Homo-oligomer: A and B are copies of this chain.
Amino acid sequence: MKSQIRKSESEQKVVLVIHGGAGAIKKENMTDAVEVAYHNKLKEALQVGYDVLINKGSSTDAVQATIIVMEDSPLFNAGKGSVFTNSGTIEMDASIMDGETLNAGAIASVTTIKNPITAAREVMDHSKHVMLVGNGADEFAKMRNLALASPSYFFTQRKFDAMKRIQWENDTQLDHSSEDDAGNRKMGTVGAVAIDSKGNISAGTSTGGMTNKRFGRAGDTPIIGSGTYANNKTCGVSATGHGEHFIRNVVCYDISAQMEYGNKSFYDASNNIINNKLKKCGGDGGVIGLDAEGNVSMPFNTTGMYRGFITEQGEIETFIYKE
């Protein structure tokens, strides 16, 4: 597997890299049909973002368009596929960051928004704030005329049963570590990072959080620096995994800081935190992203991470397991 793409030195080549969650994803629990469904949806999401980039669109537009495809799919734990809380509701988080301006937008614990990444974008572009939480964020989305969705839009019997089973076991569970009845629906947080033809980097992340979560728990996804970070000077990163560990280790900004202050490459910096720091403290998960030259890295310390990238030439590669 090529985890690094070296671009030519001439002009900025566009690149887009995505993830659909990391976790205990094992080939023996998968069917061919499910594998194909994931590969196809990752490719569709990459193609949508690529079309934005190749037509001179911004990296922020590409990231948003790509994540919307994944939010609209029941395959991932974000948007439509968001898992149920302890109360049988859904609570979604998302964030987006523009590496040119360092502007950012985030929403946490929203319940009525069809595409949380679009709400995060609206916060970035149409408010003076970075982060809106709870009912206030839903209210903001409504005021901005964003598409809302009813509880039935988010309902599936499988997700509801998973929540009930975990309640019976009296525990919460990370979406991507769920071993549900089918044994083959490893769902996860989604994220995208792009560099556009002007060399601007953007990153975004969206999630439905943990099955059976309570008390308005937010993970790293809505936290700028932990779940999402972008800076044209260094890199763009989107994380997925055990959010609490990702917050404590400020994972995405740590990678940027290793590059800025420690002269590490993006590949070395991202591998260092995922396979060294986080692994030592039990922080399961991974990141995807790219640096200012379009070099891609996608390290993870779990058995699998849905992921892929598309290059300037439109070459798509998607992966599920370690290779």
Contact = CB atoms under 8 A, between A and B. Distances in A.
Nearest to A140: B215
18 contacts: A102-B248, A108-B108, A109-B136, A128-B244, A130-B244, A130-B247, A131-B223, A133-B134, A133-B218, A137-B215, A140-B214, A223-B223, A223-B224, A224-B226, A224-B247, A224-B250, A225-B250, A229-B250
A146 to B, nearest CB: 13
A249 interface: yes
Nearest to A257: B257
Contact of A136 (B132, B215, B223, B264): B215
Contacts of A172: 128
Contact of A254 (B129, B135, B139, B253): B253
A103 interface: yes
Contacts of A140: 214-216
Contacts of A247: 104, 130-131, 224-225
Contact of A253 (B137, B243, B253): B253
Interface in A66-124: 97, 102-104, 108-109
A132 B217 contact: yes
Interface string A20-60: 00000000000000000000000000000000000000000
Interface in A210-238: 214-219, 223-226, 229
A250 B264 CA distance: 19
A139 B264 CA distance: 44
Interface residues of A, number: 46
B132 A218 contact: yes
A108 B264 CA distance: 34
B248 A250 contact: no
Interface in A191-208: none
A140 B140 CA distance: 25
A172 B132 CA distance: 14
Contact of A102 (B139, B224, B262, B281): B281
Contacts of A102: 248-249, 281
A248 B224 contact: yes
A83 B258 CA distance: 38
B133 A248 contact: no
Contacts of A260: 261
A127 interface: yes
A155 to B, nearest CB: 21
Given A109-B134, A223-B225, A225-B223, A127 B215 contact: yes
Contacts of A139: 214-216
B136 A244 contact: no
Interface in A230-283: 243-244, 247-250, 253-254, 257-258, 260-262, 264, 281
Nearest to A172: B128
A247 B229 CA distance: 11
Contacts of A136: 109, 214-217
